[in-house]
Amino acid sequence: MTVDDSGSGEDAQGADSGEDPLALRLEGLILGAERRYTPFQAARSAGVSMELASRFWRAMGFADIGQAKALTEADVLALRRLAGLVEAGLLSEAMAVQVARSTGQTTARLAEWQIDSFLEGLTEPPEPGMTRTEVTYPIVELLLPELQEFLVYVWRRQLAASAGRVVQAADDEEMVDRRLAVGFADLVGFTRLTRRMEEEELGELVEAFETTAADLVAANGGRLIKTLGDEVLYAADDAGTAAEIALRLIETMAHDETMPELRVGMAFGTVTTRMGDVFGTTVNLASRLTSIAPKDAVLVDTAFAEELIRTQDAPASEAEAAEEAAAAEKEGEEPPTYRFGLQPMWQRPVRGLGVVEPWLLTRRDGTP
């Protein structure tokens, strides 16, 4: 059935079910199909068990709907495709459920953001007397194909980048357990801010922080793993890239009077990657270092410091750097240049990780 403006079809169904007619019309427009199946009928039509269909459905983040006739031909096709990948041996059943879950979680957040921050502004009534519902449908009708094409484009770009990293991995184990630099950037005193600021003002601050952090991480070669309101988690393939991102974050936020102070903690080591997230001792250590970092400063662990020294991004000590510079001057040569400086801090116990020796990371004089 095609969605039209006559008020029939889905509108009549909405009247029978007690659902909002406009919501049903929007659903039909976005899904491109009418409600035809109960979950049992959809599973049978897709050729999968009801149990597997329910697992896929819940993994995608959708609530149980009993046996209401609420599913479309697109739902049947999605079930058929996932089950087909399992039958062909391309995915295990557990992996297919993970695909459904990771896709559902990612797109759910994207959809919420687009409705809350994007669509709401566009559907403000343009003329007095008009309601938002009167302008929502045509706006969605115009935006839907463009947003769909853009989503597919970005997904393909991200898939290509991720595939490239996997291909370059040294072995199969490195595809899952990889050596990465991991960093947490945390706004200082955020809890106090939540008590002082209005909700709208606080939301604008968080959005500005997340946007700035995401842009800096991407522009300097890192990968944003996730944002947690007052904190961002990012990763990079090498310590030098992660160090540059950390210092640029500190420098950028320090020049913004509307932002609180920032602190960053980083660690380097083996990291388990799963569903776009990172786990393991290295991640936990970076988080702990963030909690003890001074304001507007960056702390790194010993492995991170050693990696910067190994790649000649930082000297082992300022005394050694001075000796190298003096020797080079004596020979009439250019002294070695280092991007970063490292200062060992007092060893201290860190909950759950034993005693660690943090290093204060700085930018060396003359480095842009």
3-class SS string, 189-226? CHHHHHHHCCHHHHHHHHHHHHHHHHHHHHHCCCEEEE
Count the Cβ atoms, other than its own, within 10 Å of residue 226: 12
Q: Could you tell me the pTM of the whole model? A: 0.67
In the predicted structure, residue 12 carries a pLDDT above the cut 50: no
Lowest mean pLDDT among 198-202, 260-264, 334-338, 346-350: 198-202
In the predicted structure, residue 236 carries a pLDDT above the cut 50: yes
Q: When comparing pLDDT for 238 and 98, which is higher?
A: 238
pLDDT tens-place string over residues 25-62? 888 888 888 899 999 999 999 999 999 998 898 888 88
In the predicted structure, residue 368 carries a pLDDT above the cut 60: no
How far apart are alpha carbons 23 and 14 in whole angstroms? 9
Question: What is the chain's percent helix, strand, coil content, to nearest 5?
Answer: 55, 15, 30
pLDDT of residue 177: 65
**pLDDT-derived band at 15, boundaries 50, 70, 90:** very low
Mean pLDDT of 255-273: 90
Count the Cβ atoms, other than its own, within 10 Å of residue 149: 10
